[in-house]
Structure 1
Amino acid sequence: MKTLFLSVLSLSLLAVASSASAHATLEQKEAEVGSTYKGIIRIGHGCDGQATLKVRVEIPEGVVSVKPMPKAGWKLETQTGPYAKSYEYYGRTLKEGVKQITWTGTLQHEHYDEFVFRGKLHKTLAPGQTLYFKTTQECADGENAWVELPAEGQNSHDLKRPAPGVHLTKPSEHSH
């Protein structure tokens, strides 16, 4: 009886652990306003047992000069468009830039991978806010759209498919 209880307990702990890591998440969940942010989106599983064939990341307003990292064996595409406002960036005025990154390839359901990009968290962004990078995994039959945003005061853990977010902090004395 004790052995049965322990195996049920360990299975339920395993289920909790695997569901906790099931979301698309960002490795760095906090960054300074004005810094260059290296976004690492983690994909922990496919769609209901199917391989992930495409990973699409939407870039939020205020993240400029975005560059994705190519992945061996994956096709990389960026979609550019106008920003809602213009941003001063190293003596230039940026009015448009990368709005979406798409990696196309194959990630088996049993495997885990990371999709990397970097961008400048513009100095006009407000410390204390969270920027969300809506991420969609496409599979042969369906998708996992990690695009839900929490309402004011709501914990993102209460959402079924929360968008990965990075909490913005004040620039440190050393940043420029």
Structure 2
Amino acid sequence: MTSSRRLRAARTSLVGGVAAGSLLLLASPAFAHVTVQPGTAEKGGYSTIAVKVPNEKDNASTVKVELSLDPKHPLASVMPQAVPGWEVKVEKSKLDKPLQMHGKTIEEAVSKVTWTGGKIEPGQFQQFPLSVGQLPTDADELVFKALQTYSDDEVVRWIDPSKPGGHEAEHPAPVLKLVAKGSAGTTPAKADDKAGDKAGKDSATAAAEKSSGSDTTARVLGVVGIVVGVAGAVFGVVAGRRRSAA
């Protein structure tokens, strides 16, 4: 085999390998987790959070979501917002140590919230809002546990604790970070909105530039066409006169 053939063969193998790798990357599913949004809230206050549940399967729907609250830090108030198409059930448990709130003694608190009756289709997600409070002041996070049931009876347990070193668990439990008052900053939702607005503006600018470029090209081609047409007409007239003269 000559050196040029070897070079072409090497290039072909390289292109084939890159193409195969690209196909594998495109074929790999983009996994998402059950999370609590926004991910942070202020200590000692009240907050509205949403349990975000994506459907990770392409052949089954999510039909049931169960959320167990952090037993180490019971909340006196947990109120779910109605979600169209879903029924909600709130379960309470007796507290080992009663809570004191607004001069009242709270002896039981919500321990579990369950949503049933609806469907999260493949490729979609659903948010289940909750109003919670009063958030603890002696903790840096609330750890929830979620069970996601699919229409094919598979149950995914989002209950794994965080691993040392910041490594993510296979099925991490949803976590709400608690921060000092005034340091919560911009919520992820607002940050996403800003990013989305910027992306939208960039897209609009790109589209305008593309449209402007296309208009300019069309004008140039139109002028060239007119010039060519005029030149052709002149050439025809001149040629006709020469034939007549001959």
Same fold, TM-score > 0.5, yes or no? yes
- Deviations 1:134-166 (CA, angstroms, capped at 9, x unpaired): 111112321111111125x45361x11000101
Q: Which moved more, 1:58-67 or 1:73-82?
A: 58-67
Alignment of 1:86 with 2:98, yes or no, is yes
Instruction: Kindly provide the amino acid, as one letter, of the partner of residue 135 in structure 1.
Output: A
Residue 69 (structure 1) shift: 1.0
Aligned residue number for residue 161 of structure 1: 171
Count of residue correspondences: 166
The answer (yes or no) to whether the contact 2:39–2:177 under 8 Å persists in 1 is: yes
Q: Which moved more, 1:68-77 or 1:78-87?
A: 78-87
1:139–1:62 CA distance, 2 compared to 1 (3 A): same
Question: Higher relative contact order at CA 8 Å, sep ≥6: structure 1 or structure 2?
Answer: 1
Report the 3-state secondary structure (helix = DSSP H, G, I; strand = E; otherwise coil) of the residue aligned with 2:82. Answer: coil
Aligned residue number for residue 138 of structure 1: 149
Distance 1:91 1:9 in 2: 63
Instruction: Kindly provide the amino acid, as one letter, of the partner of residue 32 in structure 1.
Output: E
Report the 3-state secondary structure (helix = DSSP H, G, I; strand = E; otherwise coil) of the residue aligned with 1:148. Answer: coil
Distance 2:160 2:58 in 1: 19
The answer (yes or no) to whether the contact 2:74–2:111 under 8 Å persists in 1 is: no
Distance 2:19 2:76 in 1: 51
Percent identity between matched residues is 23
Distance 2:180 2:97 in 1: 22
Normalised by the size of structure 2, how large is the TM-score? 0.59
Report the 3-state secondary structure (helix = DSSP H, G, I; strand = E; otherwise coil) of the residue aligned with 1:63. Answer: coil
Instruction: Give the structure with the higher percent helix.
Output: 2
Q: Which runs of no fewer than 5 residues in structure 1 stay unpaired?
A: none
Instruction: Give the structure with the higher percent strand.
Output: 1
Distance 1:35 1:3 in 2: 57
Aligned residue number for residue 53 of structure 2: 43
RMSD: 2.6
Aligned residue number for residue 43 of structure 2: 33
Instruction: Kindly provide the amino acid, as one letter, of the partner of residue 59 in structure 2.
Output: G
Aligned residue number for residue 149 of structure 1: 161
Distance 2:170 2:56 in 1: 16
Q: Which runs of no fewer than 5 residues in structure 2 stay unpaired?
A: 1-11, 184-246
The answer (yes or no) to whether the contact 1:148–1:162 under 8 Å persists in 2 is: yes
Considering only CA atoms, is the larger Rg found in Structure 1 or Structure 2? Answer: 2
Distance 1:95 1:170 in 2: 27
Instruction: Kindly provide the amino acid, as one letter, of the partner of residue 161 in structure 2.
Output: L
